[in-house]
Each structure stands twice: as structure tokens, then as C-alpha cells.
Amino acid sequence: VAAGHVPIIYESRSILGGKTSAFYNPTTDPSSSDSIETGLHIFFGAYPNMMNLFTELNIHDRLQWQPHRMTFALPSIPGGFTSFNFPDNVPSPLNMAYAILTNNKMLSLTDKLKMLPGLLPMYIRGQSFIDEQDDLSVTEFMEKYGMPESVKIELFNAMGKALDFIDSEKLSMGVILTAMNRFINEADGSQTAFLDGNQPERLCEPLKEYIEGKGGRVITGIPVDEVITDDTGLIKHLIMRDGSKVTADHYVSAMPVDVFKRILPHAWSRNTFFKGLKNLKGVPVINLQIWFDGKIKSSKRGLCFSRSECLSVYADMSLNVEEYYNEKESMLSLVFAPADKSMGGQRDWIKENDEEIVEETLKELRRLFPGELYEKETPGGVKVKKYAVVRTPRSVYAALPGMNVHRPTQATPIPNFTLAGDWTSQKYLGSMEGAVYAGKLAAEVVVEGRVGEGKWEREGMKPGGNRGETPIAFGGGQVGIGDDFIGHD
């Protein structure tokens, strides 16, 4: 927009946000309109491109920053928690060093010292060292650098499940190193913030208004059915779900990788540039929102790492988010991961019914809040009032060892086509920051005219197509399984 282009954006669903979308689900309580979020979305100080976006939209005041600490549950102590507290006005990496050295509940001094041989090269060499470790799993990296098993148990397991919803046995060490590198290089990099309400209204709508105010258009509820190319591979036009044809000077895709692969044109499918896409896939994840009929008194402010087999991170939204603030009743938003066996889960939870998922979650919550959560039949205590279970079978790309090499650049061999999306090649993880940064890189390709880069081959295969109508078909999350789902638009 700033460079004088007129963007026309087509969103496949009738709601904005993609993987950060939210919808109203009357099944949780017919008398209310609860905002059901696809996931627990956290903003970090180490998200410079996202922070710039908030500034450009003049909505920075919508971020609710939390005290700079990282809070972890202590599995061996029911109800026990410990925090890494980062001091104010201390530059990085000294503030992180202080936070780690002054916490003795999770790692011993010996553990901390044995972490240094693997982490010092990351700090000194930066991204080049991180990229070299992408082929190694967390376990393999630790063995290579002599890190004790306790570091994985106490720290890396929790980080891996929070960052990419994958058990550390299967996760690329590049993910852990990328996050730590970002945190180390910015004084407030690991500080977290919540948006003051749901993302479509509080973030996506201002972005839509900005685009439309500059002459662009944002059209919802019309997915792309097919990309039509000419004999040279150039895009001629798009065929939309409603039967219309769309032509443009240039085309940019910000689809999730699993969705993009379904409509990859026949003429492109054997191109060397696109061949690596077959190795990329989204990781399954489940998000829960549980409303209680009373206040969980020991609940803490900010993001908490549960460090359990099935729960990654959670937050009491009634304490942290203005839209959900409630002095009398708690509402927890929880990330249930890994969600299937392929990513290190105990079961294929993504396929289980809501009741089983909620019951497994409550088992962990009773450990986190002993003596506070009661069964419905038991008098006293806090009980579940209602809940929503949102499944996203294909979320951010699965950062398994060796996947970085398959992530394509934003510039493609097609002169009138550019890629965006957090799964494309960029230095951040599959995240909101990665998505924004990849979008900026894609915009630079278009504005600077760096198009048509890459090798071209002719032989191809027909696209599978994407005729789905549910949120899952477009890379989102939904409530319910099979045909029994709610809130998809």
C-alpha cells in the first residue's frame, strides 16, 4: 500500500485471522456470546515486526504487558510453581543470565554450566550456527554438546511444546536455539503480552481498515478453487469458489502450506523450487477454553508452562485479558500438545472426543491447583461451568529435523507470483512474528521487482484441489469433529 500498489485480499473464510481467528460459539452457553479463540496467542518483546505493525496501526495500547518472568509448574510438587525473573533496566544477555542463575528450583549450577558449550556458539555466531543445527533433534544436539538429560526434562521439553507443539525427542534443535537467540539479543525479548480482546476485532479489523483506507480491498468468504496458468507457467487468473475469475498484475499467496499444496498448479508441481513442499506439513494442536463457576485462587498472572504430558502452556484469561476479565470466575485458555503420536503425544488426541480431552486436561489442572477443582457431584470447590475444544489438525509447520532446507523463499520462479506465510524461509519460527516478517519480505520482492527467480521445469502433476468448506479445509481450527462442528463462519 505504501509503495502505491492497490492490494485486493481474498480471505477464504467469512472471519478474519486465519490461525489467529476467533468466533462466537453459542453452544457453550445459549444465553451468552462467548468468543472462542483458535489458540492461545502470546506476543513477545522479541517480535519487532509485529510491534512495528501495532505502532503503524496506532493500537499499541491494546497490548497488555505482563511482568517480565517465565513461570513453570513443578511436576513433583502439586501446586508448586517457580519463575525465572528478569530484572528491569538490565541489558541482554545479562538479564537472562541473572534470571537463570538466581533460580535453583529447576536447574542446578552444574546443569547451567554444562549448557554453556552448546549455547555460547549460538550467542557468538548467531543465525549461521542455528541453521547448522537444524538437522539435529533436541536430544541429538544435547548429546553432541554434553548437556545433561535434566536440561531437557526441566526446560527444553516445555519450550518445544510451547513453540511448535512437538515433543523434544522429535523437534529440531533449531527451534529452541532460534527462540533463545531472539530472547538473548533483546532486553525485553522474552517478556509477554496479551491482546486486550479477540484477534479478529482487536488486530485484524484495524488492519483491514488501514488497507481499505489506502484504496485496497479485503473480501471475505471467497476461497480460491484453482490457479490457472499459461504455457509458460505464468498465472492467467484465479477461479474462485463462487465461480468468478480474478485477474491481477501480481499474485501473492499467504495460504498455510497444507492448503497451498492442494491447489498447486499442474505446471508448477515438478519445478525444483516447489518440490520441497511435499516435506512440509502442519502440526496438529488442540486449544481449550474452560469456564469455571468460581475463582481459582492460586491461579497466576501471565503465561504459565504446565510441564505435563498433555498440556503445553496456559493462561487465566480472566486475569490477563480485558475482554475476559472476571473478578468472580476463572476462564483458562490451554494448549493441549502434542496432539498426536507422530509429534510425540501419548495418544492421537486430535481424534478423541471433547469429553476425553477435557477430562485429561482436568486431571492435570487438579495437580496444578490441588484442593480447588472439584467433580460436579462433590460439594464445594470450583467446578467446570462450560468449555470449548478447538482442533487444528494442521497448524504451524512441523519443525522436524532437516525441514529448514525445504522452506521456499518468498521470491519464486514465477514472475507474477510471490509466496508469504510463516512456513516460508525467514529467521523467525512458525509464529505471528514469522507470518508478519514473511509478509514484509514478500512485499519487498514485489516492490523491488525481484520476481521470477529460480529454475523452471515443465513436467507436472494435477493439483488435488480443495473443495472443503470447514475451517480445517483452510488451515484453521474448529469445534467438534466430523460433521459435528460449530463456528466455522
Contact, 229 vs 236, CB < 8 A? yes
Contact, 18 vs 255, CB < 8 A? no
- 227 residue type, one letter: V
* Per-residue burial over 171-184, b = 16 or more CB atoms within 10 Å of its CB, e = otherwise: bbbbbbbbbbbbbb
**Contacts of 244 by beta carbon, 8 Å cutoff, 6+ apart:** 222
Return the ∠ at Cα 165 (arms to 159 and 170), rounded to 5°. 80
The contacts found for 297-303 with CB under 8 angstroms, 24 or more apart, are 297/372, 298/79, 298/369, 298/372, 299/330, 299/332, 299/369, 300/71, 300/81, 301/66, 301/67, 302/66, 302/67, 302/69, 302/71, 302/192, 303/42, 303/66, 303/70, 303/71, 303/192
Grid cell at residue 80: 508448586
- What confidence score (pLDDT) does residue 213 get? 96
- What confidence score (pLDDT) does residue 489 get? 40
Contact, 288 vs 336, CB < 8 A? yes
- 422 residue type, one letter: D
Establish whether the linkage from the previous residue to 7 is cis, with ω within 30° of 0: no
Which SS3 state, helix, strand or coil, does residue 127 take? helix
Which SS3 state, helix, strand or coil, does residue 355 take? helix
For residues 82 and 167, what is the distance between their CA atoms, to the nearest angstrom? 22
Q: What's the DSSP call for residue 137?
A: B
- What confidence score (pLDDT) does residue 102 get? 96
Where helices occur in 149-308 by DSSP H, the ranges are: 149-151, 157-164, 173-185, 199, 205-213, 257-263, 272-275
Q: What is the pTM of this model?
A: 0.90
Which SS3 state, helix, strand or coil, does residue 486 take? strand
* H or E segment and range at residue 418: strand 417-419
Which residue is listed with cell 510471490? 418
Count Cα neighbours of 72 within 13 Å in the Cβ-side half-sphere.
22
Q: How would you write the pLDDT of the chain (489 residues) with one tens digit per residue? A: 888 899 999 999 999 999 999 987 655 555 557 889 999 999 999 999 999 999 999 999 999 999 999 999 999 999 999 999 999 999 989 999 999 999 999 999 999 999 999 999 999 999 999 999 999 999 999 999 999 999 999 999 999 999 999 999 999 999 999 999 999 888 799 999 999 999 999 999 999 999 999 999 999 999 999 999 999 999 999 999 999 999 999 999 999 999 999 999 999 988 999 999 999 999 999 999 999 999 999 999 999 999 999 999 999 999 999 999 999 999 999 999 999 999 999 999 999 999 999 999 999 999 999 999 987 767 778 999 999 999 999 999 999 999 999 999 999 999 999 999 999 999 988 999 999 999 999 999 999 887 665 544 444 445 555 556 666 555 566 776 544 444 434
Contact, 336 vs 361, CB < 8 A? yes
Helix axes 173-185, 157-164, angle to 10 degrees: 90
- What confidence score (pLDDT) does residue 472 get? 58
